[in-house]
Structure 1
């Protein structure tokens, strides 16, 4: 146990993040732990598809990032924690050990196991666990496809146990993103699974830094105000013994850490004010932020409840194949040209493909100043259960150059898609957490069982609070663009899109509450045909919205161009609304 805060530096927010992140962290300010987050629902789907084609089930380049720095990591005593193990944390741990031996170092490598439950699905079914879909309530037996991957979301105490046993590098699979921070903090401060308030604070800090530059100005609606935005740095969480924290970044790097950049990430991909995590249930409506210095935002002590009695399970199954291309048409009469394209492609593909989606993106300018102002991209995508029918797609599109609408073209510098690629569908479900075999395996083969909380949360502790909507009159000021006064951040939770909207100025909070009532949001976002779940977080001056069903059954399989809803918040900010009176 240490009296000072532990400094945990993020070095990856997703599979595909900036590959120089470890280099940057090692050249930056001193830290105790490097934390790399490589997994998400869509990246798990991609790894599942890759593993099905005989490729490694772990993130190969994560090892490449580490190898050059292993001697310095050993010299400084830095710990490394990552979920890059994906579907094979034991395999990645073995590969890391080989590199450690080649470097002549004494670093110890452990892996966390128990998240992979694919082989146990039949056992769960026989025991009466239906694995109902969290969005539809249907049992998994009615899915109609054969799962190839099923991973439970584990907490951070496997990581904590590995570090306590002397591991220097801990490779995990599907632990929750925030657990990559909560685990090292629990080890550092000697917390137990019953220290729910401290854990809730660490989970909050972990949620803020899990997505890398999301906390330092990346994907931020106020991006014009961010210095060094060309290459925003990666964040650091300083987590204290009571779970309070300070979010900062390496001083030498670009970006910024402000109350607004931290708020943006706090509101990202949450279910509501109760943020359910296997380490603790976080009461996000108790979170208070304070700017305490340049690029330093304090998160005060956070209220927590015990973790839920269930664990979320991400199940993936192949559901067929898809192929897509981007075409372009130029004004005038874009609508007529798109309709002709639809008719011609249906004529050539209907009866062969399962789905054909043709989506024009944007509108042409009136009296355009350039050809590109007059041009509208059109995304065309087709799906089928087998790849063979989709081999008709490229010839069908290619046959239209002399027969289609006037000005038909594609980007002549981009390769044309001719081979279909697999589609993976996502099935989110719950299992009793007690069924999981959460464990750690050390480099000498020693197996450690992971401790659990003495009690789990009650339904009352897990229930999202109900918030009455503003009762006053509707805003009646001059019409403005919502984004003139409000920031937003959007993400995905399975088939749902979440959008957090907040105002920096306290004087605008009551206006925002009224402007974004449930009924007004329905009118502003006609695409949100499903139920809208609305919450408020007054300390953050934020309205949080869950747009149920907007993303179909999940980001890996829906056909939206904005597949995981990342721009829904900006779309909402572009809407015109009555401003404050």
Structure 2
């Protein structure tokens, strides 16, 4: 097959738009539909679901989508590939077969397993202490490739990389082998763009003025060619926007240094080039790949106990004094030492002489963690409510007393490839071990960043400036990478990029993010082909999203906060 393969994403997370699969099959003219249901937090959620009596360790919403599209897909030869198997891909595959049987459809279902390491953690580095509720190596796309080559209509996987949902089908379609590193890297980039669904087609996009079609965005399609180059698009007539900007935003989402290691290839994001290729079409090319690392990434989740949060509203005058008084009274009623961790944050939204009651309020957000559910739960929230008549003037809360919820701690790790048995179970039930790549190599570190403080090349000089929000000249998209936060920042033209590239040093980022980033490690990676830099703030999210006590635990709004900060921008960039 020499024409590009059209792969449409129909899920960016567990709980995404239910109609997306049906809409893609009806209007997308695709060869493969893929769905990404797994995140670090999702693995913890699935582990807790699996542990309950009668619970399952896979994404139930996938089954509903399969029921909508399976008949059409089998009839038209559209393949379905999804990581919805979570912690039990075999169980999920069996459930798909049950649906097919009930609908009278002869569907060939395969699954990929071997990522679940809970039975043997001895080779994991650093050594694992305790008993994690989930422990999964990130597998690549070759199990998917083998399943499709064996005629599977549906391929269910556990924890493969998000991009493997595209690189695996692309390798099957074009007949690539493990040595086709540039082609694989190109497919990884295409997979990274479409893995989060409508985030590539106008969703969460900062420049709203560019999106003229404000309907819910259509889900993205990657047309992957035989050389690994691709075009990103969406179904004809669907909402949203596909532009160099929307694709750039998603390329920068939740990445680290430019050398992006994966199980099949290390993809060099600083080689990616984007070009408009027609209305709602963006071409991706120039991507280079090198051999993958000798280890696989591992995500561990520990059951860390229980947590609870109560938010007290403070109104009008003396906000800081009221907050201090409330904290003192509360931990006089209930002993602070009863909790493993206490996090108290005063969130100021109030304005002097406010025009309305709501504009005069601040929040005192108190989060407690501990092993004893009863203490963390009603004992804590009921103690908070005892301040209702004996606390500060104007006391009220944002919620009634709340119960505790379980939370987990995320730990990144690695495992030698030899300790993982990547296995594909074909539609006829036969099992095949997927071999490791013939060559591996250490991931190169980022090169030295040129000194900041002065523009490079032909960028604007040190002339007149105006103090405006950074977002006047730059877009941003942010997210979580375990306990780290990532902020991709890009400019819309070369002149603005020359200034941005020089301006956003680690020191400047730390200054703009304020007290929360003080003392944290900040890395700024250059991506000149994308007119962008990628910022990683190490440790901002603590032990990961399930444990973080930030009001924005996944750092989704961090990029928009950075864009809101006032900076001195050369007047010549402001038009």
Normalization by structure 2: what TM-score?
A: 0.94
* 2:197 corresponds to 1:209: no
- Structure 2: any 5+ residue segments left out of the alignment? 456-460
* 2:357 corresponds to 1:367: no
Shift of residue 345, structure 1, vs aligned partner: 2.0
* 2:155 corresponds to 1:155: no
Shift of residue 547, structure 1, vs aligned partner: 0.6
Q: Partner residue of 2:7?
A: 8
Alpha-carbon separation, structure 2, partners of 1:362 and 1:252: 44
Q: How does 1:214-229 map to 2 (within 5 A)?
A: 214-229=199-214
Q: Partner residue of 1:103?
A: 103
Shift of residue 498, structure 1, vs aligned partner: 1.0
Alpha-carbon separation, structure 2, partners of 1:35 and 1:110: 14
Q: Do the aligned partners of 1:209 and 1:237 also contact (CA within 8 Å) in 2? A: yes
Match 1:358 to one of 323, 340, 344: 344
- Residue 224 to residue 386, structure 1, CA distance change in 2 (3 Å): farther
**Which SS does the other structure have where 2:465 is aligned?**
coil
Shift of residue 228, structure 1, vs aligned partner: 3.6
Q: How does 1:285-304 map to 2 (within 5 A)?
A: 285-304=270-289
Q: Do the aligned partners of 2:138 and 2:160 also contact (CA within 8 Å) in 1? A: yes
Alpha-carbon separation, structure 1, partners of 2:22 and 2:413: 38
Alpha-carbon separation, structure 2, partners of 1:561 and 1:538: 33
**Which SS does the other structure have where 1:498 is aligned?**
strand
Alpha-carbon separation, structure 1, partners of 2:209 and 2:364: 29
Q: Do the aligned partners of 1:47 and 1:86 also contact (CA within 8 Å) in 2? A: yes
Alpha-carbon separation, structure 2, partners of 1:315 and 1:230: 38
Match 2:219 to one of 212, 234, 237: 234
Match 1:513 to one of 501, 522, 527: 501
Normalization by structure 1: what TM-score?
A: 0.93
Q: Do the aligned partners of 2:452 and 2:503 also contact (CA within 8 Å) in 1? A: no
* 2:548 corresponds to 1:558: yes
**Which SS does the other structure have where 2:120 is aligned?**
helix
Shift of residue 355, structure 1, vs aligned partner: 1.9
Alpha-carbon separation, structure 1, partners of 2:208 and 2:333: 45
* 2:397 corresponds to 1:410: yes
Alpha-carbon separation, structure 1, partners of 2:149 and 2:90: 19
Q: Partner residue of 1:337?
A: 322
Q: Partner residue of 2:370?
A: 384
Q: Partner residue of 1:466?
A: 448
Alpha-carbon separation, structure 2, partners of 1:295 and 1:267: 19
Alpha-carbon separation, structure 1, partners of 2:248 and 2:364: 35
Match 2:426 to one of 442, 453, 458: 442
Q: Do the aligned partners of 1:508 and 1:580 also contact (CA within 8 Å) in 2? A: no
* 2:301 corresponds to 1:313: no
Q: Do the aligned partners of 1:202 and 1:245 also contact (CA within 8 Å) in 2? A: yes
Shift of residue 224, structure 1, vs aligned partner: 4.1
C-alpha distance after superposition, 1:345-388 (max 9, x if no partner): 22223122222223233421232222122222333321112212
* 2:164 corresponds to 1:174: no
**Which SS does the other structure have where 1:488 is aligned?**
strand
Q: Do the aligned partners of 1:49 and 1:424 also contact (CA within 8 Å) in 2? A: no
Alpha-carbon separation, structure 2, partners of 1:115 and 1:231: 35
**Which SS does the other structure have where 1:389 is aligned?**
helix
Tell me the C-alpha RMSD between the 2 structures. 1.6
Alpha-carbon separation, structure 2, partners of 1:337 and 1:52: 43
Shift of residue 415, structure 1, vs aligned partner: 5.6
Alpha-carbon separation, structure 1, partners of 2:76 and 2:400: 47
Q: Do the aligned partners of 1:205 and 1:237 also contact (CA within 8 Å) in 2? A: yes
- Residue 336 to residue 24, structure 1, CA distance change in 2 (3 Å): farther
- Residue 338 to residue 471, structure 1, CA distance change in 2 (3 Å): closer
Alpha-carbon separation, structure 1, partners of 2:269 and 2:253: 12
- Structure 1: any 5+ residue segments left out of the alignment? 133-138
Aligned residues: 560
